Chain A
């Protein structure tokens, strides 16, 4: 009788278990967060976003809500969806364990979007405590000032930072100083000067723009074409088809050289500022990765 009763209960439980069909059975909150951490460890940031979007965060406890909101912002940051990252990172509450990290990363996202004013505002309105985080804030503000080419503000912020001996800020600080010096010494080229120089000596405008190799190459090619046109002019005469053909080719290259020099200065200036801004942002990221 008793074995039969046992068998009967087992059959009931098995049937109930097999009755669970394809609908999603909600996982406990702790398991859910554990799964999301599992996805983060595998750098599956897109899946992290998908999983968090699926959840109704309002139904969760505050501690899980805060963690998931932070993870949503964090995964958006890694997917380079910076606008979304800023929205979620700024939702972090001061009591939360990741509050400081959230605020600093929200600010660096705004910097990456070239919204330096917003980046500064995030830093200045955050509840930052402790000397390390305060120095880090000053460092980020200094980086933003450098990106705006505001060397005066940069110098005053760097003076405040000179008291800091934190290892995470020392090397990036020196690198930013070098970039500030480079920016201070840089004299942007003038397009009309470049065009004028190329009109006088083909290729000289490109050398002025900093492209020495291109300038020499342009001088040689235009020079050879000019020599060819002159040779035909002097030996075949001005009305000969060979003179006209050679002259046309030379004229095209000559005008093209002036045109190219005019635009190459603009490109050179743009390339310099792009390279500088990239390097400033890299050095601004380094202490964040080290401290957090």
Chain B
């Protein structure tokens, strides 16, 4: 009996230790989840950090980091979430967890307006995740990222590829969606982006021309009128012998309008590009929600 006890005591110790370790980590995940659910986000992040410290195992550390990033994303801190995810090494995990992690990284980058980093995560996904079915659900973000980076042709191809991976669609439905995609990505429907530098340069030579090029013809005309009025005041005052008045009230005012007009043209071109992207993305989102 004594020999039995001694022999099996050691077997049990070695076999049960992992159970206790996993149980502790699982209970910490539960605890952190409870805090997050109750809205105590700082405490939840702290408990996930404790898991990272205690776990010593990559999958658990990755899960904890993912949970931290999701909380930060939820509380409108995508840049901090991105910092955490980018600095976490991805080793010793399976493809499904890797795909989820890279998707979250891409999403946080997208929300931080870092579209190049977002696109890079999808390239990593393509390279590191063998099973394409794992990242097909995330194609919608990939397409949005490509459009933000101006890669419309790649976005169109990615959309065509994604509809082929939807088993529930019939051949006719797939064909109809393909036509909609081609129509949306037709060159007439793509955002007509304006170059802010060109807008600024146009306003340099003809005041108001940059605003018109940027898509604000009314403001361009108003701007041109203001310039002409100030020049007229200068000319009128000079004609009647009021030279200093003509310079101060005419030319000095013209100069202020002139330099301000160039900056304004640059800003309006950027604003126009942003609203064009928003409009295009709203059509794209409607199309992709039909796909799902």
The reply on A163 being an interface residue by CB < 8 A is no
Interface string of A38-55 (1 = CB under 8 A from B): 110000101100110000
Inter-subunit contact A224/B244 (CB<8 Å) = yes
User: Among B12-20, B141-149, B266-274, which stretch is in contact with chain A?
Assistant: B12-20
Inter-subunit contact B31/A23 (CB<8 Å) = yes
Partner of B23, one of A17, A38, A44, A227: A17
Inter-subunit contact A232/B245 (CB<8 Å) = yes
User: Among A3-11, A102-110, A198-206, which stretch is in contact with chain B?
Assistant: A3-11
Residue of B nearest to A6 (CB): B8
Once the chains are docked, how many angstroms separate the CA of A50 from the CA of B43? 8
Q: How many whole Å from A201's CB to the nearest CB in chain B?
A: 19
Inter-subunit contact B24/A228 (CB<8 Å) = no
Inter-subunit contact A47/B46 (CB<8 Å) = yes
Q: How many whole Å from A36's CB to the nearest CB in chain B?
A: 10
Inter-subunit contact A14/B19 (CB<8 Å) = yes
The reply on B284 being an interface residue by CB < 8 A is no
Residue of A nearest to B247 (CB): A224
Once the chains are docked, how many angstroms separate the CA of A2 from the CA of B4? 8
Interface string of B17-42 (1 = CB under 8 A from A): 00110111001001100100000001
The A interface is mostly helix, strand or loop, or mixed, namely: helix
Contact A228:B50 (CB < 8 A) given known A5-B4, A10-B16, A13-B12 = no
Inter-subunit contact B46/A50 (CB<8 Å) = yes
Residue of A nearest to B21 (CB): A17
Inter-subunit contact B34/A10 (CB<8 Å) = no
What residues on B are CB-neighbors of A56 within 8 Å? none
The reply on B248 being an interface residue by CB < 8 A is yes
Inter-subunit contact A227/B49 (CB<8 Å) = no
Inter-subunit contact B46/A14 (CB<8 Å) = no
What residues on A are CB-neighbors of B247 within 8 Å? 224
Inter-subunit contact B53/A227 (CB<8 Å) = no
What residues on B are CB-neighbors of A10 within 8 Å? 12, 15-16
Inter-subunit contact B245/A231 (CB<8 Å) = yes
The B interface is mostly helix, strand or loop, or mixed, namely: helix
Inter-subunit contact A228/B49 (CB<8 Å) = no
**Residues 175 to 223 of chain B near chain A (Cβ within 8 Å):** none
Once the chains are docked, how many angstroms separate the CA of A240 from the CA of B234? 19
Partner of A35, one of B12, B23, B50: B50
Residue of A nearest to B8 (CB): A6
Q: How many whole Å from A5's CB to the nearest CB in chain B?
A: 7
**A interface bracket (residues with beta carbon within 8 Å of B):** 20 to 34
Inter-subunit contact A38/B53 (CB<8 Å) = yes
Contact A5:B244 (CB < 8 A) given known A17-B19, A23-B31 = no
What residues on B are CB-neighbors of A246 within 8 Å? 245
Interface string of A242-262 (1 = CB under 8 A from B): 100010000000000000000
Interface string of B41-61 (1 = CB under 8 A from A): 011011001100110000000
The reply on B249 being an interface residue by CB < 8 A is yes
**Residues 99 to 149 of chain B near chain A (Cβ within 8 Å):** none
Partner of B27, one of A20, A225, A242: A20
Partner of B24, one of A9, A25, A242: A25
Q: How many whole Å from B77's CB to the nearest CB in chain A?
A: 13
Inter-subunit contact A231/B15 (CB<8 Å) = no
Residue of B nearest to A50 (CB): B46
The reply on B243 being an interface residue by CB < 8 A is yes
Partner of A20, one of B8, B24, B45, B54: B24
Inter-subunit contact B249/A228 (CB<8 Å) = yes
Contact A228:B244 (CB < 8 A) given known A18-B23, A20-B27, A25-B24 = yes
What residues on A are CB-neighbors of B243 within 8 Å? 231
Once the chains are docked, how many angstroms separate the CA of A4 from the CA of B134? 42
The reply on A131 being an interface residue by CB < 8 A is no
The reply on A184 being an interface residue by CB < 8 A is no
What residues on A are CB-neighbors of B30 within 8 Å? 21-22
Partner of A235, one of B8, B12, B16, B241: B241
Once the chains are docked, how many angstroms separate the CA of A224 from the CA of B23? 83
The reply on A61 being an interface residue by CB < 8 A is no
What residues on A are CB-neighbors of B12 within 8 Å? 6, 9-10, 13
Inter-subunit contact A50/B27 (CB<8 Å) = no
Inter-subunit contact B244/A17 (CB<8 Å) = no
What residues on B are CB-neighbors of A224 within 8 Å? 244, 247-248, 252
**Residues 231 to 250 of chain B near chain A (Cβ within 8 Å):** 241-245, 247-249
The reply on A24 being an interface residue by CB < 8 A is yes
Extra A-B contacts (20), CB below 8 Å, given A228-B249, A231-B243: A5-B4, A6-B12, A10-B12, A10-B16, A13-B12, A17-B22, A18-B19, A21-B30, A23-B31, A35-B53, A38-B53, A44-B49, A47-B46, A50-B43, A50-B46, A51-B46, A224-B252, A228-B245, A231-B242, A235-B241
Cross-chain pairs A/B with CB under 8 angstroms, 28 sampled: A2-B4, A2-B8, A5-B4, A6-B8, A6-B11, A9-B12, A17-B20, A18-B19, A18-B23, A20-B20, A20-B23, A21-B27, A21-B30, A22-B34, A31-B54, A44-B49, A47-B42, A50-B42, A227-B248, A228-B244, A228-B249, A231-B245, A232-B242, A232-B245, A235-B241, A235-B242, A242-B242, A246-B245
Minimum-distance CB pairs A-B, first 4: A22-B30, A13-B16, A17-B23, A17-B19
